[in-house]
Chain A
Amino acid sequence: MRGLRTFLLGILLILAIAPAASADSITGRGAPPESAGASLPFVNGFMMRLANAQKQLNDTISREFRSVHDGGSRLAILAILGLSFLYGALHAVGPGHGKAVVASYFVANRARWTAGIVMGSLISLIQGASAIAMVGLLAIVLQWRQFEVLNRTASVEFVSYALIALLGAVMLFRALTGRGHHHHHGLDDHDHRDHHGHHAHEQALPPQPDPLPGGERGQERPHRLNLKLVIAAGLTPCASAIIILLFALANEALGVGIVAVAVLSLGMAITVSIVGVASVLGRHTLLRVLDAVGVGSHRFEQSLAAIGAFCIVVFASLLMLGAWYRI
């Protein structure tokens, strides 16, 4: 547990001294990055429809918040919660929200599909908590201006991605040097023994069924989520959650805002979990196919561990650069 506590303290310290964001109010970023010019044709009209759906939801949620402010009807609160859930699920379909980390992680690690749900949900919920903590500290306690609070997310993102890159590098190092099968030795092995009953769902994932015919069923110890990675990925608050909280604050309905963000995070959890489960199943299928055609899937598993870790390092570094632009 001491390792994790030191990790958390370290994060707080870094966040405290991280430079304030100077991102512009309206663009939410610094200088424009260059175009990469690549094309994924299948997203064509999808982004447009996705954005439009979010606009409608955002619109309705705003109106309901005003009606809570004006009259305080219970129906309005219910509407806000339902809509926030949908908003979260849709919003998380767009880029970000730790999906790349989750997907890469389950490329690298053998795990049950339930681990995909646990990791996706934990990241999303921590992200919501992070937004609530940020608004609570910066907007309410320190009375920062609204855009100062929103733009501070860039610094938090930077720290988060730096930590993810670091943890990914550790994973990569282990995969390359073959220092143990990492599904046997999660970074936090010693962190969750016996005590901490409330964490039971994250530590004691039941043993997975053997994904490989003729493998070592029963010898596998349960996969332990890399909790540090989950926390690092959960640090980045979603800008939309912050915007909703600030709007709730302006409408003197902060309580409703907090519950709305919790529900929004649940919605995001659904989407991110789907990515996690898809990745778990993708890896599973790939190994089975390799086994069926007679390629040694065991050796390939080590390659996957390295590939997944490598992806985490690359994605996190790219995102780190993106956040740097906006600081």
Chain B
Amino acid sequence: MRTVIAAAALLMLSATSAAAHPHVFIDYAVVLQFEKGTLKSVRMTWTFDEMYSSMLYQDYTSHPRGPLSAADVSRLQKGAFEDTADYHYFVDVTLNGKPVAVKKVTDFAAKFEHHRISYSFTVPIPDGPASGKNALEIAAFDNEFYIDFELVEKDAVGFENAEGLGVSCAPKKTRKDTPVIGAVNTVAMACAWSQAS
């Protein structure tokens, strides 16, 4: 009987979108941007794996190899970034336990360094949190696993204008829903601070 159950489970596992295993690997990092004691936005940086970077470089930039020009950056934004809006830019944020809708991001920038393309963009946090204790959880996650997002190993989090707020951040295991195999474990960056009143 156990064999049958195992076979059935195997079948279910297999019967998923073919796009569903990672083909793109992105390391991400976040910077919490405060203004006058209030969290205004989060700057997110994605760094692509070398193979995908090479494809982006080949298709969206002018050769020969070198730093990206402004035209290159705008080509990348149009051709290989803007459509992620359909996926809320793969950004999941909760503020004090409530999900923040990510509809639009600003200040897109791109770089090519050490054989890798990286993108940066700003995720506005529309309703500044209330005074007192605050908690933010942010992760980049593709629930179809076409892209594997992982927090970068070093300097995964930074702050701007955070003096006196006592911000502390740490990676935190969390669970995310996926369309096919259900909830899976992933890692988010969890931060807490005390709002200046």
User: Which positions in A face B, CB cutoff 8 Å?
Assistant: 24-29, 31-45, 47-48, 51-52, 54-55, 58-59, 62-63, 66, 91, 94-97, 99-100, 103-104, 107, 145-147, 150, 157, 236, 239-240, 243-244, 246-247, 250-251, 275, 278-279, 281-282, 285-286, 289, 311, 314-315, 318-319, 322-323, 326
- Give CA–CA (A43, B7) in the complex, Å: 15
Q: Is B180 a contact partner of A36 (Cβ separation < 8 A)?
A: yes
B197 within 8 A of A: no
* Interface window among B51-59, B66-74, B95-103, B161-169: B51-59
- Residue of B7, B58, B186 near A250 (CB, 8 A) is B58
Q: Is A95 a contact partner of B182 (Cβ separation < 8 A)?
A: no
B172 within 8 A of A: no
| A32: chain B residues within 8 A (beta carbon) | 86-87
Count of A-B contacts judged by CB separation below 8 Å: 206
Candidate in A27, A39, A55, A319 with the most chain B CB atoms within 10 angstroms: A27
The 6 closest A-B pairs by CB, nearest first: A39-B182, A94-B21, A62-B50, A95-B16, A100-B14, A282-B7
| A243: chain B residues within 8 A (beta carbon) | 23, 51-52, 55
- Give CA–CA (A40, B9) in the complex, Å: 9
- Give CA–CA (A40, B177) in the complex, Å: 11
| A279: chain B residues within 8 A (beta carbon) | 7, 10
- Residue of B7, B17, B55, B178 near A107 (CB, 8 A) is B7
Please give me the residue from chain A that is nearest to B115 by CB atom. Answer: A66
Please give me the residue from chain B that is nearest to A98 by CB atom. Answer: B14
Q: Is B144 a contact partner of A29 (Cβ separation < 8 A)?
A: yes
Contacts A27-B84, A147-B55, A247-B50; A39 near B183 (Cβ below 8 A):
yes
| B16: chain A residues within 8 A (beta carbon) | 95-96, 322
Please give me the residue from chain B that is nearest to A44 by CB atom. Answer: B185
Q: Is B12 a contact partner of A40 (Cβ separation < 8 A)?
A: yes
- Give CA–CA (A202, B10) in the complex, Å: 25
14 CB contacts below 8 A, A to B, read A25-B60, A26-B147, A38-B180, A39-B182, A51-B21, A55-B49, A55-B150, A59-B25, A59-B49, A59-B50, A95-B14, A100-B14, A247-B55, A326-B19
